[in-house]
Amino acid sequence: MKALYFGTYDRSSPRNTQVVSCLRRAGVTVVERHREVWGRHNWSLGLGQMARMARAEGSLARRRDDDADVVVVGYPGHFDMPAAKRTARGRPVVFNPLVSLHDTLVGDRARFRHRSPAAGILRAVDNGAFRSADLVVADTEAHAAFFRQAFGLREERVGVALVGADEPLFRPGWHPPERFHVLFVGKLIPLHGLETILAAAALVPEVPFRVVGDGQLAGLLDGRPANVEHMPWIPYEELPDAYRAAGCALGIFGRGDKAARVIPNKVFQALACARPVVTADTPAARELLTDDTDAILVPPGDPEALAGAVRRLAADDALAERVARAGRETFEAHASEDVLGVRWRSLLERAAASR
């Protein structure tokens, strides 16, 4: 089988790198046709960005790859679907959206007002992209259910494949002795629940917290507790060492609807590195994790519960080791590249067969 991975997708996103890697591991020949538009975290919808997008779409649609069995549109390829359909010329188009643009930029991050022109554009782009795909691949069953309901998609037009982690980098390994500390890595967006993390840190002043990342809610760190260290970012290739040196790693704790539908990259990365994970108890998290077995799950937006989980892990080495080992086993069984490669190949074969 040959797949054309297509669009203006973010080449730095694990959702794209993982899909390409997993498919190749499963024996699929993957050819990439890519045009850079967005850049790192650039979600502008200004006239200049729209002009760059138009040029990119024209360039993408002019080329032909006639021997690909299926066209896969990478994240965030919502604007790419018309060009992908023209390129496919009747072959199946599989959409790997990761998110709804309107749900993310209007609902979760509040970048645009609900009744603004930009919000209307995002809603129209979402509708066109999701409804024109032969198959939409969501990252969790909870997200798949949302996509079906929001865009009126039949059951068989939405599949699920977890995000996973970059296994050559994120794996168990030796780390130097270090005082127990809590690690959070992220872009500081609302669904992460940074305010809950900071409030929990204030309740356990004896435990160091390390927040790695920058973004929309970085201002909350200005008055952070004394036991919270902030690092704006570290190189991607150094993240595995940061996980392996941590006593435990945090997932997300936001109360919003979107937070309940996703399992973020950071959770998979920590599991792959065999670190104990503490994250919110949500429908999406329950698809993969079991409380007090392979992770510690706490109510969303509850700093007292999060602080209690941190105290337990900091005080009980045996508990931390047991949760870490079970978390790695869960990763291997459900989110390894071998497992996800088989899953992604079956989804592409299903889309091809439907044609």
pLDDT digits (tens, 9 = 90+) for 168-209: 899 998 666 578 999 999 999 999 999 999 999 999 999 999
- Distance between CA atoms of 288 and 165, rounded to whole angstroms? 14
CA pseudo-torsion sign 30, 35, 41, 43 = negative
From the candidate CATH numbers 3.40.980.10, 3.40.1360.10, 3.90.850.10, 3.40.50.2000, the one assigned to the domain spanning 182-334: 3.40.50.2000
Span 118-141, average pLDDT: 95
For all residues of the chain together, what is the average pLDDT?
A: 92
Query: Under CATH, which number does the domain 2-164+337-354 receive?
Result: 3.40.50.2000
pLDDT, greater one: 44 or 110: 110
Task: Write down the pLDDT at residue 58.
Answer: 74
Question: Is the model's pLDDT at 45 over the cut of 90?
Answer: no
Task: Write down the pLDDT at residue 177.
Answer: 59
Question: Is the model's pLDDT at 28 over the cut of 50?
Answer: yes
> Is it true that the peptide bond before 76 is cis, omega within 30 degrees of 0?
yes
Tell me if 2-164+337-354 shares its fold with 182-334.
yes
| pLDDT, tens only, 280-335 | 999 999 999 999 999 999 999 999 999 999 999 999 999 999 999 999 999 999 99
CA pseudo-torsion sign 156, 136, 104, 328 = positive
Span 27-49, average pLDDT: 74
Band of the pLDDT at 143, cuts 50, 70, 90?
A: very high
Domain ranges of the chain: 2-164+337-354, 182-334
- Distance between CA atoms of 19 and 164, rounded to whole angstroms? 9
